[in-house]
Amino acid sequence: MDYREAGVDIDAADAAKARIRTLARGTFNPAVLSDIGSFGGMFRPDFARYREPVLVASTDSVGTKVKVATAAGRHGDVGYDIVAHCVNDILVQGAVPLFFLDYLALGRMDVERVAEIVSGLARACSELGCPLIGGETAQMPDVYAPDDYDLAGFIVGVVDRPRALTGDRVRAGDHLLGLPSSGLHTNGYTLARRVLLEHMELDLHAPMPELGTSLASALLAPHRSYLSALEPLLERDKIAALAHITGGGFVGNVPRVLPPGLGAVVHLSAWNPPPLFRLIQRGGDVSEEEMYRTFNMGIGMVVVVSPSDLHEVEHSLERRGETPVLIGSVVQGEGVRLE
């Protein structure tokens, strides 16, 4: 026997790596000192503008959104998703990205599909100034079915310690601004797939007038990054805290950025969740509480702002194409109340 007969195609892997190398090089900047294919990625950061540079690292995956991508035969945006998700996660602590790595595990090596996934990674890394300096593509036929795969990302960023968002600036009476999401982003897909594809048996490719697009396009809408809109405000110290609304929804994520003794009130009447969320809720008879605990419900990032900075922050966000919504406030107490 040989490795190919056992289920691992080295020749196909080499072809995929050659495509990856070309795509990744397009994201490089002068700080990248090694090429794709080295055992480790080398990066020389320039910390000249930082008084106390602190590295911030995070890792995540796109979860079962890859199942929708596989069913739809569209893989480019899941690569974009994982970069945007990780950038948002470190942005919550005031950090901007330095570099990115990925991990792609597959049941079968498909060179074209790998190239499509990595092209999305490269596109996001280029847009967000986050070089893709390395990663791993693993063939695991005994773990994954032939068409299955998993995608994870690893990011390292930097923040000046005096500007790091740690929750110490938050005060009772601060306002909560919500920034719109583009859809489910990368959370809640197990429930969404169960309701829409298994229970309702909807066609991924059929036009859906209530969504204004096909179900596949609505479910695969790329995860938004809020870096360009929020970085100028971070540099001017106009943000008290940020909460990336991912798994756990509002009740699971907002408390993570508040200091002890403070909670939040979120007014559900402040915005209308996009039709996709209501379709899931109606189709699966999902409770309101469960919806707001599982999904972002149309708000991808919560910005905590002092009353004195509210108007300046709103105007800055609007100038950068955002439509901030005043959704609540910080209060004495613990946890999040949805009213």
Q: Which amino acid is at 39?
A: F
- Asked if 131 contacts 31 with a C-beta cutoff of 8 angstroms, the reply is yes
Rounded CA-CA distance 32/44 in Å is 6
Amino acid sitting at position 25: R
Q: Where are the beta strands (DSSP E) in the chain?
A: 53-61, 96-106, 132-139, 149-160, 175-180, 207-208, 213-214, 241-244, 262-266, 299-305, 325-332, 336-338
Domain spans, the chain: 3-163, 175-338
The answer to whether residues 33 and 139 touch, using CB atoms and an 8 Å cutoff, is no
Would you state the pLDDT for residue 13? 82
Residue in the structure block whose two tokens are 């967000």 = 128
Q: What is the pLDDT of residues 137-192, one digit of tens each?
A: 999 999 999 999 999 999 999 999 999 999 999 999 999 999 999 999 999 999 99
pTM of the model: 0.95
Asked if 128 contacts 97 with a C-beta cutoff of 8 angstroms, the reply is yes
What is the CATH number assigned to the segment(s) 175-338?
3.90.650.10
pLDDT in tens, 275-314: 999 999 999 999 999 999 999 999 999 999 999 999 999 9
**Which helix (H) or strand (E) segment is 83 a member of?**
helix 76-91
Q: Distance (Å, rounded) from C-alpha 86 to C-alpha 172?
A: 29
Element (H, E) at 339: none
pLDDT at 240: 98
Mean pLDDT computed over every residue of the chain: 95
Q: What is the CATH number of domain 3-163?
A: 3.30.1330.10
Q: In this predicted structure, what is the pLDDT of residue 202?
A: 95
pLDDT in tens, 140-154: 999 999 999 999 999
CA angle 119, 121, 124 (to 5 degrees): 105
pLDDT digits (tens, 9 = 90+) for 38-62: 899 999 999 999 999 999 999 999 9
Bridging pattern class, strands 149-160 and 325-332: unpaired
A 10 A CB-CB count for 168 gives: 10
- Give just the sign of the alpha carbon dihedral 263, 157, 150, 65: positive
pLDDT at 31: 95
Three-class HEC string of 283-330: HHCCCHHHHHHHCCCCEEEEEEECHHHHHHHHHHHHHCCCCCEEEEEE
